[in-house]
Amino acid sequence: MKTVHLVQHTHWDREWYFTENDSKAVLYYFMDDLLQRLEADKTLGPFVLDGQTVVIEDYLSVAPDQEIRLRNLIEQGRILIGPWYTQSDFLVVGAESITRNLLLGHADCQRFGETMPVGYVPDSFGQSAQLPMFLQQFAIDSAVIWRGWSEYNVPHSEFSWLSADGSKVTTAVLPWGYGCAKWLPDEPQQAQKALETILAKQTRFSSTDHVLLPNGNDQSPFEYRVPEMLDKLNQQQDEYRYVRSSFSQFFQALESTQIALPVYQGELISPKYMRIHRGIFSTRVDIKQLNAQLEQTLSQHLEPLLAVNWRLGLPYPQSAVDNIWREAMKSHAHDSIGGCNSDRVNAMVKNRLESGLEMANQLIDLNMKMLAEGITAQQDGKKIIIFNARPQTRHGLVELTIFTPEQDFRVVDGAGHECRWQIVEEGRQDMSIIVQELSNSTETTWYRKCKLLLEVSEIPACGYQTLYLQEGVSAGFSPQAAAVVKLENEWLRLEADEQGVLTLTDKRSQQTYHNILQLVDGGDAGDNYNYSPPFDDWLISSNDFLTSVRGEEGLLQSCLTLTWQMAVPSDLTARNEHRADAELDISMTLTLAHKNRWLDVAISVNNTAHDHRLQVLLPTGVQQHVHFADQPFGLIERHNQPPEMAVWKEEQWTEAPVALYPMQSQVMMHDAHRGLCAVTEGLREYQIPEDRQDVIAVTLLRSVGWLGQANMPYRPGRASGMVLPSPESQIQGMHHFKLSLLAMNNGADSAFWRDVENARGNLHAWLATGWSRFRTNPHGRVFPPHFSVLNWDSELHFSVLKKAQHSDALVVRGWNPTLASIPCGEVITSGTITPATLAEIALEIHQEAVPTCAPATFVITF
């Protein structure tokens, strides 16, 4: 006899084709009913509140007087909460976001009762290979998932899932989804007929006689009559024994069988039985870029700055930072960050991210101002704070914008030694917009606005250095630039022919890459969920549409700017008729710093076309069957072409398993002698074309006008979501994209990984002008002109420096980007150093080496 574990739940989308305001109104009545039913019948429960504590937050925002009732049921174990704050999409958001999601979710659970110790991920559009690692870091030993699994990965729906670092969780798949047993009839005989079909499918891949039966659905009311109905079925048949259960009880029963489960390592992105919606990685690229910018601003700038200032005696606004993270995570749910929503919801998602960025930048500005205020000047002039978030001493180039009435100026360090700089952009600025005292003036005060590239050195680790802007004084060098027709330094050479076709030469190996960074526009007959090519696509490249090329060599870097007016179809109808009746104005600026081994690429596109996709191509010339991309806290190897593409139509998969993949910010293809790597800012998708498997195609944007559509080439059958127009997802107007391009001459060696980390930046410059939109009283503290909190001599990549969540300590974290273990290195600071998990719980053993795809976290108490 098979034991069927009834798990009652709801899946709560905060927003989708409806807004969060709609869902909060529904939630009020849903929770009112749930509380009443559970209180009236003590035999009911436990009930899973979708594994995300934001549901509690939302409910109490509309029913704060019900907290005691809710708390009592949670403490009794009749409502199960957590471990997440929100149900994120784990293939799109960043590693620190996933970490904070669990950290804040656990904090919420501790306020109300126990945490459900199961990594419940019912609706992420695919599963990250790193999920077992994240769960184990929070002492969670089991996971329940839906999308992304098939028997091509592992033959059973219960298995041991292994991350690359060795972390393992017992995993159960809901093969037919969290709603497979929704809306069951109350009458036993009718229910038995429905359950025969459901359980035949549920048991098809089971490795034991224990079966999960999830009873619930999207925003669906509590089916409180189902347990009693199943009790009656227990008396009327002997094929199944139905028990009122939970995920934890199911895993206990699974363990009691002592059956050895198969082991699987890797991500789960198979769309055989359930759609994973390959396309959300590039839908609404404006939202993706904004989210990446907010994640980076928080973990790579604001939190390290606050940590340094906290060590100097300034307050650390923990709740304010947590609130920014929480608002960001409300935009991280699978539909929200996927962009597969109504236009109204996408606007709300974007607004939350913009609001978070506004507050983060204001906190940065105020803390830089307070820092500069406490530094006693060593030289004349305005103070420039160069902040280094990374735990190693830094040198290199940093951008700084200044406003000055003077034609001449120079920058010096504390000893009076002059720093070199280069103007990369110049204009005029109305100062009444910036200086509060000038806002009511009857005359306009115009200053020069200069965006500088400043050369700096010996910037302390996790700290700052003070420089000085001296106006009205001539620089001791000539900042003049000269025209050039190619870019070249010690390592690289980039040339453009008369059509604008680019050739990159790696001077270290003499390997060349022809027709690099070509732009290709194609049709998109998909929707917000899936890219899908037209049945007869018409691809148009940038090669025939060049309008200008101009180059400039400066003191610190050189740049080459190409512009195109690409004639493209205005929509799908025009593309089908091969009518190029629209025009894309595109510019690409390629920058090569004299001391850098990588090329920086900035692309601007005025999007005036509909129903299309624009990609930039990186032909590697590498004859390999695999490539690599980054994932949260690690690297993953993928096939250039999934072998399942040969069978998906015959086996009637829910969508095509095309080589359209997610990344965090990096993708590369290489052999021992040549290869290319792209490091992007907010671009989350790339493709390996089926007919050109040595090419990496990075998606810049895709324009579609529907939330869901039916019968698409890559996704046959019903529409996903709702067949609802979403014209704003055509994302018309100007868009700006950035990436860095690295040529690989010796595989992914340590020098390459240093270049990848340096290409990501982490140096920040701030000018103390004395102007401010907001006045604050002096804090009265005195700070040194340079300061460092800690130094960590390590090849790990930097993740964050921040204050500990629940104690007066600091947390510093790095991660291993490579496919092999690397030495952890030593953290040097004045405090006591304790290795810890992502949950900030102390570890008993300090590992000398950090495994592949693993973070290393230290808590420092002073």
What DSSP state is assigned to residue 721?
S
Reduce the secondary structure of 324-369 to three states and give it as a string. Answer: HHHHHHHCCEHHHHHCCCCHHHHHHHHHHHHHHHHHHHHHHHHHHH
The total of other beta-carbon atoms located within 10 Å of residue 836's CB is 20
Closest to 239 in 3D by CA, of 67, 478, 4? 4
Residues 6+ apart with CB under 8 A from 4: 199, 211, 213, 230, 240, 241, 242, 243
List C-alpha distances in Å: 625 to 513, 658, 669: 19, 15, 10
Closest to 58 in 3D by CA, of 390, 310, 326, 246? 326
Query: Please, are residues 676 and 696 in contact by the beta-carbon 8 Å criterion?
Result: yes
How would you classify residue 416: left for phi > 0, otherwise alpha for psi between -120 and 50, otherwise beta? left
β-bridge mates for residue 833, sequence order: 860
Q: How far apart are CA 393 and CA 763, in angstroms?
A: 11
Q: What is the largest CA-CA distance in the chain?
A: 95
Structure tokens of 711? Answer: 């019968």
CA 657 to chain centre: 22
Structure tokens of 712? Answer: 């698409």
Structure tokens of 303? Answer: 């939190």
Structure tokens of 147? Answer: 């999308």
Query: Please, are residues 212 and 118 in contact by the beta-carbon 8 Å criterion?
Result: no
Q: How far apart are CA 249 and CA 639, in angstroms?
A: 38
List C-alpha distances in Å: 658 to 505, 557, 638: 31, 39, 12
Query: Please, are residues 669 and 694 in contact by the beta-carbon 8 Å criterion?
Result: yes
Residues 6+ apart with CB under 8 A from 416: 379
Query: Please, are residues 831 and 810 in contact by the beta-carbon 8 Å criterion?
Result: yes
Task: With both helix axes pointing from N to C terminus, report the angle between 54-62 and 318-330 in degrees, rounded to the nearest 10.
Answer: 100
Query: Please, are residues 471 and 404 in contact by the beta-carbon 8 Å criterion?
Result: yes
Query: Please, are residues 526 and 532 in contact by the beta-carbon 8 Å criterion?
Result: yes
Q: Give kind and range of the element (H or E) at residue 678.
A: strand 675-680
Work out the end-to-end distance of the chain between its first and last CA atoms, rounded to an integer number of angstroms.
Answer: 60
| Catalytic residue, candidates 89, 123, 413, 506 | 123
Closest to 95 in 3D by CA, of 660, 663, 529? 663
Structure tokens of 805? Answer: 């969540």
β-bridge mates for residue 190, sequence order: none
Residues 6+ apart with CB under 8 A from 34: 47, 79, 222
β-bridge mates for residue 127, sequence order: 268
Query: Please, are residues 176 and 203 in contact by the beta-carbon 8 Å criterion?
Result: no
Q: How far apart are CA 212 and CA 215, in angstroms?
A: 10
The verdict on whether 50 is a catalytic residue reads no
Dihedral sign, Cα of residue 239, residue 153, residue 659, residue 143: positive
Closest to 588 in 3D by CA, of 597, 599, 577? 599
Active-site residue list: 123
